[in-house]
Amino acid sequence: MVFKAKKDGFRWAIIGFVFAVYTGVSLLIFMTERKPDAFYGLALVWVLLSIFIVWILPATTRYTFLEDHLLCQSMGFKKRIYYNTFHKVVPASGLYAGWKMSTAWKCIVVHYNKYDELLISPQDEAAFIELFEEKKAQFAKTN
């Protein structure tokens, strides 16, 4: 079963923050050099970054339950988590430092192996957690 990535306003907040920083830097460069070249270059970078964050990244992020493992993909990056290493899934609380394949602010943390964690944001969290618990129980019995 494939779960698409959840999309929320967090992407737009990031784009707004980057826009504010780029505007400040552009104004600072314009005030010192009196040439509008900085606006063009930074505007192009901001547009390309916006396209990447708003459309490309969420479209390429997905979580797939396969025969013996969960495959988390984002762009060209892949992470395989084998079902027999599953521990628990909990809602993320606050800021998170670690491996992140999430496109939303409100997401969940998959705990696996002894100390490993992965932050993800499936669109249908309830169905994801249900399938996660099902696979965890199935592979706990066989191993």
Band (pLDDT 50/70/90 cuts) for residue 38 is confident
Closest CA to 16 of 55, 53, 59: 53
Residue 51 pLDDT? 92
Q: What is the mean pLDDT of residues 93-118?
A: 83
- Other CB atoms closer than 10 Å to residue 79's CB: what's the count? 18
Cβ neighbors of 23 (< 8 A, separation 6 or more) are none
Q: What is the mean pLDDT of residues 125-140?
A: 90
Distance separating alpha carbons of residues 126 and 66, to the nearest angstrom: 18
Specify whether the CB–CB gap between 3 and 62 falls below 8 A. Answer: yes
Closest CA to 128 of 42, 1, 16: 1
Q: What is the mean pLDDT of residues 107-136?
A: 91
